[in-house]
Amino acid sequence: MIIGVLREGGTENRVALLPENVAALKKKNLEVLIESDAGTSSCASNEEYLDAGARIQTRGNILRDSDVILKINPPEASDMASGKILVSILNPLVNIKLVQQLAGAGVTAFSLDMVPRSSRAQAVDILSSMATIAGYKAVLVAASKLPNFFPMFMSASGTIRPSRVLILGAGVAGLQALATAKKLGAVVEVFDVRAAVKEEVMSLGGKFIEIEGAREDAAAGGYAVEQTEEFKRKQQELIDEHAKKSNVVICTAQIPGKKAPVLISRETVETMKPGSVIIDMAAGSGGNCELTKKDETIIHKQVRIIGNSNFPSRMPADASKMLGVNFTNFLNLFIGEDGSINLDFEDEILKSTCITHEGEVKNERVAEVIGFENQ
Ligand code: NAD
């Protein structure tokens, strides 16, 4: 059984497996092929992969010889031959054409961004591991761009008040951003539609902004659901009021599979202090700020709006360390101790993440979206 790891390319600095993960896979008698320089940007050299027991190969050889191919960002479907297993992050509810191509090519494609949020799935939950990194990095970027200190300073040259940080969305990224901003000494306020996160916010030293009347759905598995118009209006008023007083706004609000809710309007930005920074982590799904441009930084009336959609790539060594564990744990779900493959689609994690298999779109949510698009 051969596992192949492709180099990512473009602006992506991460890699799906590090040498330490190769060593673990070798114990199962798996062969591991790594594309030359795949780990260089993550501080892992070809020599370290070789020492761990991998073979360095060309992309063509890896695509031809591997049974299972790992790549963080999806490869071209035309590179994938029938019968191969692909483990990647496909964003399949949006990248419908790619899904159809992979199905057409006879590829068994797993997408790790479709992992359910259950206790058992935590070890393969790349959305959580990457959101943790992104929440941390987002705050550091904000602090470095802000023309103010984060902490309070009292000195002979006067007293400097602490910066105020407003975090929208207290999921994995938002809570990590809160913890990081608090460590840097800022005053942090957090808003989320799920009242369940209030205690977590408070335990990390944040102030929870409450609005009554939020809709919650236990069946949504800990995720947010769409809110009523009345709630949205109240929410808008409160966010405007708090954004005006903030130096930094970190946007992380999302409802999975939907366009990100717009919570910061152009008008709100125009009331913010000159020099303020908005980090819109939801840029990849449209942004929580009306003015966000994905993967661009714009300055509007002296407010800097940063729409970086891949902060984890800016911390590639540790991001790859976490991803390597996530990918390895995922492989362990269908590769036995003797190195044989057993695709048990009764397993909730394999079932949720398998997007295409034997020429068909296997994932129900993705098939539904495709059906809807074809109407
Ligand atoms: P999550 O689902 O854990 O958290 C999102 C939070 O937003 C939830 O707590 C939810 O209740 C809240 N929310 C939903 N609608 C809201 C609303 N109208 N107002 C206030 N809160 C609302 O998601 P996560 O893993 O923390 O990721 C957050 C966002 O960050 C996502 O958009 C994700 O794609 C993005 N992300 C960006 C990067 C990057 O590098 N830019 C990296 C990882 C994740």
The DSSP-derived string for 135-184 is HHHHHHHHHHH-SS-SS-EEETTEEEPPPEEEEE--SHHHHHHHHHHHHT
Query: pTM for this one?
Result: 0.93
Tokens (6 digits) for 359: 């020429």
- The span from the CA of 204 to the CA of 245, in Å, is 21
Quote the pLDDT of residue 219.
57
Can 65 be counted among the known catalytic residues?
A: no
User: What separation in Å is there between the alpha carbon of 223 and the centre of ligand 1?
Assistant: 9
Quote the pLDDT of residue 222.
60
Q: Please state, as a whole number, how many other Cβ atoms lie within 10 Å of the Cβ of residue 213.
A: 11
Beta bridge partners of 300: 303
The residue annotated as part of the active site, out of 82, 122, 302, 340, is: 122
Quote the pLDDT of residue 39.
98
If you compute the radius of gyration of the chain from its CA atoms, what whole number of angstroms results?
22
Q: Is the dihedral of CA 28, 31, 34, 35 positive or negative?
A: negative
Contact present, 28 and 50 (Cβ < 8 Å): no
User: What separation in Å is there between the alpha carbon of 9 and the centre of ligand 1?
Assistant: 26
Q: Is the CB of 136 under 6 A from ligand 1?
A: no
Quote the pLDDT of residue 226.
74
Quote the pLDDT of residue 47.
98
Quote the pLDDT of residue 227.
76
For 202, residues 6+ apart whose C-beta sits below 8 A from its C-beta are: 208
Q: Please state, as a whole number, how many other Cβ atoms lie within 10 Å of the Cβ of residue 270.
A: 12
The DSSP-derived string for 179-224 is HHHHHTT-EEEEE-S-GGGHHHHHHTTPEEEP-TT----GGGTT--
List helix spans (H) across the chain: 19-26, 46-51, 59-65, 96-104, 126-145, 172-183, 198-203, 229-245, 266-271, 316-334, 348-353, 364-374
The residue annotated as part of the active site, out of 49, 79, 111, 125, is: 125
- The span from the CA of 54 to the CA of 63, in Å, is 16
Instruction: Indicate the top mutation candidate among 254, 297, 310 to test ligand 1's pocket, ranked by most ligand atoms within 8 A of CB.
Output: 254
Q: Please state, as a whole number, how many other Cβ atoms lie within 10 Å of the Cβ of residue 296.
A: 12
Q: What's the pLDDT tens digit per position in 334-344? A: 999 989 999 99
Mean pLDDT, rounded, of the chain: 94
Q: Is the CB of 107 under 6 A from ligand 1?
A: no
Q: Is the dihedral of CA 200, 201, 207, 212 positive or negative?
A: negative
Can 236 be counted among the known catalytic residues?
A: no
Of 135, 165, 181, residue with least CA distance to 281: 135
State the closest ligand 1 atom to the C-alpha of 173, by its place in the atom list counted from 1: 26
- The pLDDT averaged over each successive group of 10 residues in the chain (375 residues) is 96 97 92 98 98 97 98 96 97 94 97 93 96 98 98 95 97 97 98 92 96 68 72 90 97 89 96 97 95 98 97 98 98 94 95 96 92 71
Can 192 be counted among the known catalytic residues?
A: no
Q: Is the CB of 170 under 6 A from ligand 1?
A: yes
State the closest ligand 1 atom to the C-alpha of 282, by its place in the atom list counted from 1: 32
Tokens (6 digits) for 274: 């000159």
Q: Is the CB of 311 under 6 A from ligand 1?
A: yes
The owner of tokens 């205690």 is 199
Of 121, 117, 77, residue with least CA distance to 95: 77
